[in-house]
Structure 1
């Protein structure tokens, strides 16, 4: 069995890829450019990809391909319909980030809610010496206890974020689907969640129905000028509208770990926000604790091992 890993550099160099127990040939590439995909897939039985796109054309040219092992949870980089038609099994990684993403989410929330970055920058600039006393009050500091946390996405990550929020004394709301109000008492209608939340955090997949789910109209609904946190997927929020909402004061702050184009180009709307004390951009690392990445690598190998035994797991299609 020939296994080709297209983008090993998307995992930490410290991450160990466990050895496969069956006879195989493993070909590892640090990165794979778009025009190299077809050639590298041509003789592969199994291909591992994290973010490299597998198009219909590339898949059709892979003569022996039987499995796509996605080294992530999201599979929007793979043409799933083409895989169905070609009889190629697609497996993904699940439930490996149940600690790291919620912890990163709250790191961003704490940083904004307590103006950590703003105070650090002020100290670097000499403001403490200027104040000539033991403290100064240039930036807002707000407790989380008693605040309302609106969560969009009620899967494992959303539930873990909710548990942390409750432990801090927050009032937790799970948002219903946008445009619906018939999901029962466990969910707060989407529009009502936007109105009531002091902090909004996204933990849902990027699908046609969720792309751009928060845009200019939704920012106008945010009566409490909340913080907006996105550690889920770029594209869930209209990024131009987000920049404008922050600049207009429609929200109190924003922290994003994901962007619709990664890395963002120099003219991306987020680039003009980087010096603001109420905006934080991290480079898609919420998932990337040492423990989580190793768990991902272990599960990746387990997925391929299971497929080789004829008992595929974590099957997307």
Structure 2
């Protein structure tokens, strides 16, 4: 089988190439950005390691030889899963490579917001030494934290925040907290109840048709005045214009965003003007350890498939 990289912006791909070489495969690195690039350059490939290039229905129908796509990361929103299934293409991701990193980053954003770390640092550097500028700050054990999405990362974040004293409520269509796996400290609630009850809302759900702009103007308006919003999943889950407006008038006290709908965040985004919005460059996944783990697991998944072995992280069922 022929393996290729459709695109990759990493400094190198030495780990992957070492795994492929040991298994007896060569894998050229392409630089596909568009549908046309993929159709022109990937036609002879059986397996593709993919980062950002768009595998749409048009692309998949034009690549009859293709049998597997392995995506760098958890999200697969640049791959049309239904079209891939129709084309008989197995799509895989790496759902567990940076769980602690993402949950830790979400914890860091949450605490930076609720403890006013960033504005107080700026205040001190400006020559003001006055905690009154941070008022009000509430004790963690008096606050309710709401999680939307209770997958691997959401549950890790929940455990860490529970240890810090927060009360937790959660909403997930496919998972109910339970004593058997030790998550019964999370109270399951309906989505509209979560928006009304939570002092802090953290997002850990995938981006799809059901979750696009899930946090829209109406949802934001239903949130408690002075609530916080944290997103380390996908930017398109939030209506950013509505969030910027709510931040500007103080209905939302602050937001911590590691992902935005368009990345990098466009220069004209109204979020830049909101000093109570912390923005990081889609880095929650990153540590040296996680980056190496991701590279290793992507390559190993491709090798398993090429050898006819069962894959570990399928996200669709080819027809």
Q: Which TM-score applies when normalising by structure 2?
A: 0.87
Aligned ranges for residues 87-102 of structure 1 at < 5 Å? Answer: 87-102=88-103
Alpha carbons of structure 1 residues 157 and 61: separation in structure 2 relative to 1, 3 Å: same
Question: Which among 126, 137, 141 is matched to residue 132 of structure 2?
Answer: 137
How far has the Cα of 1:205 moved from its partner? 1.0
Work out whether residues 170 and 188 of structure 2, in 8 Å CA contact, stay in contact via their aligned partners in 1: yes
Q: Deviations over 1:197-240 (max 9, x none)?
A: 11110001112111111111112211242110011111111111
Work out whether residues 4 and 40 of structure 1, in 8 Å CA contact, stay in contact via their aligned partners in 2: no
1:315 maps to 2:314: yes
Work out whether residues 33 and 54 of structure 2, in 8 Å CA contact, stay in contact via their aligned partners in 1: no
Q: Deviations over 1:6-33 (max 9, x none)?
A: 2221x4659833422332221114x432
Q: Which TM-score applies when normalising by structure 1?
A: 0.88
Match of 1:152 in 2: 148
Q: Deviations over 1:164-199 (max 9, x none)?
A: 11100110111255xxxxxxx941121221122111
Alpha carbons of structure 1 residues 60 and 176: separation in structure 2 relative to 1, 3 Å: closer
Aligned residue-pair number? 300
Q: Which moved more, 1:34-43 or 1:204-213?
A: 34-43
For structure 2, list consecutive stretches of 5 or more residues without a partner in the other structure. 174-185
Q: Deviations over 1:65-87 (max 9, x none)?
A: 22111112111111222222222
Structure 2: how far apart are the matches of 1:90 and 1:194? 34
1:174 maps to 2:170: yes
1:43 maps to 2:44: yes
Aligned ranges for residues 258-277 of structure 1 at < 5 Å? Answer: 258-273=259-274, 276=275
1:291 maps to 2:292: no
Aligned ranges for residues 1-317 of structure 1 at < 5 Å? Answer: 1-9=1-9, 11=10, 13=12, 16-17=15-16, 18-20=18-20, 21-29=22-30, 31-34=31-34, 35-128=36-129, 136-140=131-135, 141-175=137-171, 177=173, 186-273=187-274, 276=275, 278-313=276-311, 314-317=313-316
Match of 2:176 in 1: none
How far has the Cα of 1:156 moved from its partner? 0.9
CA RMSD between the two structures: 2.1
SS class of match (2:235): coil
Q: Deviations over 1:79-117 (max 9, x none)?
A: 222222222221111222220111000110111111111
For structure 1, list consecutive stretches of 5 or more residues without a partner in the other structure. 129-134, 178-184
